[in-house]
């Protein structure tokens, strides 16, 4: 019984010391110009869309039509951007035309 208790404690202790998950590692902050230059030069991503989350938070989506990679980040008024998510297989969708407009 005592050996099982010690073994269980060691296993859970080791799990608690494991490195953080990918989502936690993805949250990186840096100046916006540094981030956008990296996205453009290293990943061939360009601005796909975005908008204001609040008066003081801009959300942007950058993606690459060539590789399908994408990055979503938030920019604060001080010019610092924090990556919220990254991934693969991005699909851009064209919005439907407004009512009354024929294409």
Helix (H, G, I), strand (E, B) or coil at 7: helix
Structure pTM?
Answer: 0.67
pLDDT digits (tens, 9 = 90+) for 23-55: 444 458 999 999 999 999 999 999 999 999 999
Q: 90: Cβ–Cβ under 8 A, 6 or more apart, which residues?
A: 48, 63, 64, 68, 69, 70
Q: In the prediction, which pLDDT does 97 show?
A: 83
């Amino acid at each position: 019984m005592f050996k099982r208790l010690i073994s269980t404690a060691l296993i859970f202790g080791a799990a608690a010391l494991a490195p953080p998950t990918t989502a936690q590692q993805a949250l990186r902050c840096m100046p916006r110009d540094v981030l956008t230059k990296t996205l453009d030069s290293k990943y061939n991503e360009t601005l796909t869309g975005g908008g204001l989350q609040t008066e003081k938070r801009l959300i942007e989506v950058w993606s690459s039509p060539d590789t399908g990679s994408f990055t979503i980040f938030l920019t604060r008024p001080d010019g610092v951007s924090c990556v919220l998510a990254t991934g693969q297989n991005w699909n851009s969708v064209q919005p439907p035309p407004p009512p009354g407009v024929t294409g």
